[in-house]
Chain A
């Protein structure tokens, strides 16, 4: 079986995880190690008047003033109007959300460290709490950040051809659409272990992070030490999802402890901390007005988007990423030429917004796809037909859309058509007409999206962030036995890159992937990369691995020619062998010559040897756009408000598939999270800013029985801009599920005149909507 690009290989990393032999930060135990617990703010907004450390344990408790040599994290951008927040490693003068770290406690065990947190006295002057983004936007006096004139991190205005295109549209549809705040809930939360190493003169920080090199840059910058004094290692990581693509204040605190006391310290976030402090994503509000013709063809779109940005802007990607992505991606995969969008990113007394898998696109897809279905209902056509008519056609590719996004390739309409066929729309419509014996209502939904992946320097430099991705690098080394060692600065935490990067190297060198080791996530041993986020790693690191492998081939040929005593020009590299006119030599023989029998090397041998580090950037780095259409059939129990997904089909195109099984695994995981957004997950806050879902009893996650058997079908349109035509795809699965499930439920409820537009679709929300649709003075009673 082939092992190269396109091979459906089991993952190299699975064995250790399936046998429980992974190595995570929590598995680390060093002599003299101390555990860290944080005292977190019990109130959402207030000035700290006084902190009293527990008597006799003063040297185990640290507050902001103790870390005076640590700078606050400030994440600038060059986006006009963006306001800076200062995020201190421990609260400085004021707390701005429930769960903000106030003090750091150190003890031999976590329980004892938690005991210390309870003995600290903190006096607050409580301030009015801003918990609703709309209210915070209009609030005249109360400020999350005192030095600001209002509570807006950023307001974006975009306009292109709106007035001219919207004029006289016969169909005008307006909807208010909202997504709840969510936590990302990786299996492993934040985790950081820091130790001082005298031999290297470094703090060695093991962090559960997607971006070890960025963490190194940030730690050195905010601790005020040299880059060379910091080594960051990201061991096995139990899920990132964006939660771990920024520098965490806890990482800064624990690294400071190790630097200061030259002993090992460890902090492991627990689930309650995660659900409180990590309630930091997805919360968008939309008011969308669509202008269309009688057939439902979109002419123009007018939108106001409100993003509840929380209290702080995280370093380095900033909270501005979210409004930028929302404004730029709302038009989706559709062909229309009038667009106006105003996006408010509002500071509130909640944890600061972070980019969660899908970054804004789960929200914009939800808004856009609900609007497409609303248009279809208004013009009396099948939603998939209206969607089809509006999708960018393959003939128009590459396509520059109304928000200046450059869609590189693909056949969006074909994906939708295939999804309709694979779901079996007509059969479901027939079953819907017939009705269910148990009285449930059948609904069918579709959603289409396209997703910017692997966008690079030109996009990020436009935002002017502190860290801008450039040429991702990889090192490929031939070992003395002819096996390969690949080192890349990205990190894999479920994406299967130990396998897929090996497949790319195999594609070029022919080396069996069993003999290819992939080393990731260690700033001490891998070349610099900004890391794994934005669905970029297989394109960027994969491209770098390919370039490094290719750089080695002329060196193989030169050594091979000398070994065979033939002219280099007559050499070819085929299936891992150096083939001459009469005979061939293996890569192993080349490696043995370089490492073990250098007397056999040509005198002018390339001094780079059998190791190459090369960089990669796509030919055009405005993004390789993956896309998909999802289709689902659901049954809605209107008596208790339950939704069951009966069938779920995905037709996706992420360009050239490196490993279809890895793509499917990534897609399934994303869809599970999307189903969570649609039906289960919500971090509500009360009017005082208190989080109401602080355990998994209140924050519901979908489990195996809530995820249907999902059928995935692939299309393969190579990107013209990337190595092998590969596109990124890690986030896409999480984008469409809320849209497709709500469209299906709304399809089911259409006879009752009910349309739901707010996630998650809880039984209570569903029953309340049904109650509003059929007002009655009598209590409504179910018949089952």
Chain B
């Protein structure tokens, strides 16, 4: 279980990294390596070249832009976990980060790497989709895309071969804004069997409800979210959640349906907890 032969380069800045990506055949970006490392060793991926962006200064910032928090793609889960109390309006990031795998993974794994890898059971695609976050990509040009659109399927994203995720913009919640995030893992540190994320901002009259883990991409429960936005807690009956799952996702088997129902119910329960 040792990696096949590959070359390795550590560019000095994002422009260098993009230049290498543009020239080399079969190059792959390496950030925290918490998924890529095992995949290399299992020989599930065989890049000719690893472009290590884990130390690029430009990807390390946590920046308050006023209406959003701009998170560098190279920021580790551990840094977000430890930023508790220092990210007003984006507290959910700290809570989600603190429950990703276990600390040794969080010390190296990055938010940008997690999005680029797009594991269906990962926490960031779900949480950032529910938060309405956008990914800022840089290639020959710059573009911005909602996380919910960026993740196209299991392990599939809109990221082009010559692009890098530079930052993620997370809109701040208002003071009245509430969030809920629930995941069920068979044991500590495992990927989730079922997960759900809810963001509800009564001041803005907006709500988003997403279901994670059970399908390739985070699944929006748009109709349920709309009902929550309009009617608040009274829209979260067992019946309503069950119908929303059938309507929005449809092909869940009985066990998935039960787990999904519990995940959505519990995430909503956090939002409306007294």
Chain A residues proximal to chain B, CB less than 8 Å: 109-111, 114-115, 270-273, 639-642, 680, 695, 697, 700, 702-703, 705-706, 762-764, 767-768, 771, 779-784
Contact = CB atoms under 8 A, between A and B. Distances in A.
Contact of A780 (B3, B4, B257, B265): B257
Contact of B2 (A110, A641, A702): A110
Contacts of B176: none
A451 to B, nearest CB: 28
Interface in B228-260: 238-239, 241-242, 245-246, 252, 254-255, 257-259
Contacts of B265: 639, 782-784
A767 to B, nearest CB: 4
Interface string B250-274: 0010110111011101100100000
Contacts of B263: 640
Contact of A111 (B2, B252, B269): B2
Given A115-B4, A697-B191, A767 B42 contact: no
Nearest to A642: B184
B241 A781 contact: yes
B258 A762 contact: no
A771 B188 contact: no
A392 to B, nearest CB: 38
A270 B242 CA distance: 45
Contact of A767 (B2, B186, B189, B255): B255
20 contacts: A111-B4, A114-B4, A114-B43, A271-B1, A639-B258, A639-B261, A640-B193, A640-B194, A640-B258, A641-B258, A642-B186, A680-B186, A695-B38, A703-B187, A767-B254, A768-B255, A771-B254, A780-B257, A781-B239, A784-B265
Nearest to B242: A781
A680 B262 contact: no
A99 to B, nearest CB: 13
Interface of B: 1-5, 38, 42-43, 184, 186-191, 193-194, 238-239, 241-242, 245-246, 252, 254-255, 257-259, 261-263, 265-266, 269
Contacts of A109: 2
Contacts of A642: 184, 186
Contacts, number: 96
Nearest to A114: B2
Contacts of B241: 781
Given A111-B5, A771-B254, A784-B262, 6 more contacts: A114-B1, A640-B263, A767-B255, A771-B255, A782-B238, A782-B259
A781 B254 CA distance: 9
Given A111-B2, A771-B254, A705 B187 contact: yes
Given A703-B187, A705-B188, A781-B241, A270 B1 contact: yes
A639 B5 CA distance: 47
Contacts of B269: 784
| CB-CB nearest 3 A-B residue pairs | A111-B2, A781-B242, A782-B262
Contacts of B246: 779
Choose among B1, B246, B258 the residue with the greatest number of A CB atoms under 10 Å from its CB. Answer: B258
B172 to A, nearest CB: 29
A640 B43 CA distance: 34
A561 B255 CA distance: 81
Contacts of A767: 254-255, 258-259
A641 B259 contact: yes
Contacts of A115: 4-5
